[in-house]
Amino acid sequence: MSSEAQAVEDQLDEAMRTKSPRRGYVPERGSLIVVSAPSGAGKSSLVERALQRLGRLSYSISYTTRAPRGTERHGVDYYFVEEATFMEMRERGEFIESACVHGHYYATHRATVEQMLADGNDVILDIDVQGAAQMRERMPEAVTVFILPPSKRVLEGRLRRRNLNAPADLARRVANATEEVQLYERFDYVIINDDRDRAFGALKAIIIAERRRPFRQRRKIKSILNTFGGE
């Protein structure tokens, strides 16, 4: 994309983010972007950057039974809940997807995602490959993106530098990654995260391209066609 085209795109995104909805305006349903990867591939950093840089993009905070790590905060990074509470919520059907990953449970809250989409916001999820498989089945509209590390050695290095996992847990994550990378063909898009700027550019391009699909702009298109006499 040229610098001029990029500037226009950024202006449009900013306008969409800041404009107040007109009275009686019914927004288009947003798109659902599911980003998945092995632990340590860098998906969370890419998702965080997308949320900072792109307008009209919302994030659904996952629920988990594990304890906070590092500077993580309840209600910001995750909703940290007891396992009994998690299971009760799952039994009530409150989650779109849930999975046990590295010995802990994670899930996405159904009502939260549905409300965001209904409000016309694009929703981006940062979930594991098990959860992504469930999302494909239960939300066929979802656009799935797989983040692939450039090599096993780089993945191991990233996990070690985080210094958040015990040696046994680190070994388990690497072993799981060896299996998870084989699932790349089940996703709509694959981004090789060998350069953070390039990888973010690819994720941004996917999100913007999905916004330009005709069915996501139906009301806008119809209003334009009405000026030509209708369809």
The total number of residues written for the chain in this structure: 231
Predicted pLDDT at 3: 55
Predicted pLDDT at 125: 95
What confidence category does residue 4 fall into, taking pLDDT thresholds of 50, 70 and 90? low
Question: Could you tell me which residue, 22 or 216, shows the higher pLDDT?
Answer: 216
Chain centroid to CA 148 = 15
Using the predicted structure, report yes or no on whether residue 33 has a pLDDT greater than 70: yes
CATH architecture of 27-213: 3-Layer(aba) Sandwich (3.40)
Domain spans in the chain, listed from the N-terminal domain onward: 27-213
What confidence category does residue 171 fall into, taking pLDDT thresholds of 50, 70 and 90? confident
Predicted pLDDT at 28: 78
What mean pLDDT value characterizes the chain? Answer: 87
Tokens standing for residue 66:
């594990």
Question: Could you tell me which residue, 23 or 199, shows the higher pLDDT?
Answer: 199
Using the predicted structure, report yes or no on whether residue 189 has a pLDDT greater than 90: yes
3-class SS of residue 23: coil
Pairs from 49-55 (Cβ < 8 Å, separation ≥ 24): 49/196, 49/200, 50/124, 50/200, 50/203, 50/204, 50/207, 51/124, 53/200, 53/204, 54/13, 54/204, 54/207, 55/13, 55/14, 55/15, 55/16, 55/17, 55/18
Share of the chain above pLDDT 70, in %: 87
d(CA 82, CA 78): 13
Query: Which residue type, as a one-letter code, is found at position 159?
Result: L
Using the predicted structure, report yes or no on whether residue 13 has a pLDDT greater than 60: no
d(CA 128, CA 180): 9
Using the predicted structure, report yes or no on whether residue 21 has a pLDDT greater than 50: no
Predicted pLDDT at 161: 82
Q: 26 Cβ partners below 8 Å, 6+ apart?
A: 219
State pLDDT tens for residues 54-110.
Answer: 988 999 999 999 999 888 999 999 999 999 999 999 999 999 999 998 889 999 999
Using the predicted structure, report yes or no on whether residue 147 has a pLDDT greater than 70: yes
What confidence category does residue 165 fall into, taking pLDDT thresholds of 50, 70 and 90? low
Mean pLDDT of 153-176: 83
- Return the bridge partners of 108, or none: 97
